[in-house]
Structure 1
């Protein structure tokens, strides 16, 4: 399905969880001089204008990053990426995960971004030309399997589908098992929404069976408007980097301050 556009949801609390964790992981991995690969399966447009009608209409950024940013100290990698994005793209700009990756990487690192939606891909290609990233208008899971194991072999993959298609929940454990089989040293970060009805439950059971040593992190928050089904956000991390569990515990404490 090619109807999803993240501009309506950019900067929401799910983004805060996902992007804060991603920025921290990249900061940790780039402390070593060894180059790394970053692969993203559902990249979106890369940069979002929170003053756009679509973003204002939903109110998700106003209930998200507008409230949560103050909880991160100035030296936190996520806070730094926010400030760098505004300096480069304007005061209302918000970084998608591709830009967080680009800002948090080095010239020796390799970035691959997949986005199938024509409009989102056009936006992404236009901005990513300055990042040195490889941008692919291709199904993200097909690209992930084609690229793994990547060169450099050290690195991480962000798997962030829209979950508009219910079949995603059933297919993701199989996709992650296939990717891990080819790239057993890669850090795999899966984001998933926590919706009323618990559609993510069977998927997580399958993932935890396949990856018993993985790290799972969830945060809860109230729906931002009547009829909105999202009531939380989750991350499932295969091969979690050292220290990530402690960082996610700090992130949970920040979310508690928003309650």
Structure 2
């Protein structure tokens, strides 16, 4: 489905959970000189304005990043501050720009985005970075390119899950990717809904070596998205602390 646009949801509590962990992982993986490859299956446009009509319509950022006092000594806080220094104080970066803050000349970034409007916007917003933009289906694109060079890498899978079959797609895709690219760590985001639609996907992925982390939102009262979940397949050494960082840095919004 191509109707979803993240501009309505940028900076919400789920973004905080996902992006804090993502930034921590990138900081961890770039500590050594060895290059890494970062891929995304659903990149979005990479940069959002929290004063836009879309963001104002839902007001979700007010319950997320709007409540957060950024710690500039953390990977996430440093990335947000650096990107806002270039794009303005109401800017909120998606995962592509967050990743670009950490990546070095020896690294590689490949971004998939199929949406006819989001794809061109992503190309515009990622100008001046090392990113390679592919306007194609993310599952097909990542699998076709894998394994890339450098072989050490991180893949972010972050679909909208507007279509219920998306959970099955993720569950089918991840084992194929691990078989083709065993050196990759794979970070999967999913929403926690009252219907529990994510449970079948989790059961299918259970045999893989992974870490699972779920949080709830303080402000939710049984309606809509109740929380946010992450699964890290093939976790790198030291990654457990990356998940705890989300609660340390955004405990006012996220809870176990």
TM-score in terms of structure 1 length: 0.94
SS at match of 2:205: helix
Q: Find the aligned partners of 1:121 and 1:168 in 2 and give their Cα distance.
A: 20
- Whether the 8 Å contact between 1:153 and 1:186 is mirrored in structure 2 is yes
Cα distance in 2, alignment partners of residues 182 and 200 from structure 1 = 24
CA offsets 1:85-143 (integer angstroms, 9 cap, x no match): 11111110001000011111001111100000011011101111211211000000001
Correspondence 1:200-215 to 2 at 5 A: 200-208=198-206, 210-211=207-208, 213-215=209-211
Larger displacement relative to structure 2 (50-59 or 237-246): 237-246
Tell me which residue corresponds to 1:93. Answer: 91
1:223·1:229 contact (CA, 8 Å) conserved in 2?
no
- The list of structure 1 runs, each at least 4 consecutive aligned residues, that deviate by more than 3 angstroms after superposition, is 253-259
Q: Secondary structure at the match of 1:62?
A: helix
1:185 offset after TM fit, Å?
1.4
- CA–CA separation in structure 1 for the residues paired with 2:82 and 2:169: 36
Aligned match of 2:136? 138
Contact 2:71 2:78 in 1 (8 A): no
1:217 aligned residue (191, 205, 213): 213
How far apart, in 2, do the equivalents of 1:27 and 1:229 lie?
Answer: 32
- For 2:180, the equivalent position in structure 1 comes to 182
* Maintained 8 Å contact 2:16/2:250: no
Q: d(CA) in 2 for partners of 1:102 and 1:81?
A: 9
Cα deviation 1:184-208 (Å, max 9, x = unaligned): 1101000011112111111111111
Structure 1 residue 172, shift from structure 2 partner: 1.1
Q: Counterpart in 2 of 1:23?
A: 23
Residues in 1 aligned to 2:193 and 2:121: alpha-carbon distance in whole angstroms: 29
Q: 1:36 to 1:254 in 2, by over 3 A?
A: closer
TM-score w.r.t. structure 2 length?
Answer: 0.95
- Quick one: distance in 2 between partners of 1:57 and 1:216? 32
Q: Does 1:257 align with 2:255?
A: no
Gaps of 5+ in 1: none
Matched with 1:239 is 234
Alignment-derived partner of residue 65 in structure 2: 65
Separation of aligned partners in 1, 2:222 and 2:8: 15
Partner of 1:43: 43
Task: Answer yes or no: is the 8 Å Cα contact 2:20–2:245 preserved in 1.
Answer: no
SS at match of 1:237: strand
Quote the residue 1:120 is aligned against: 118
When structure 1 is superposed on structure 2, of 43-52 and 169-178 the one drifting more is 169-178
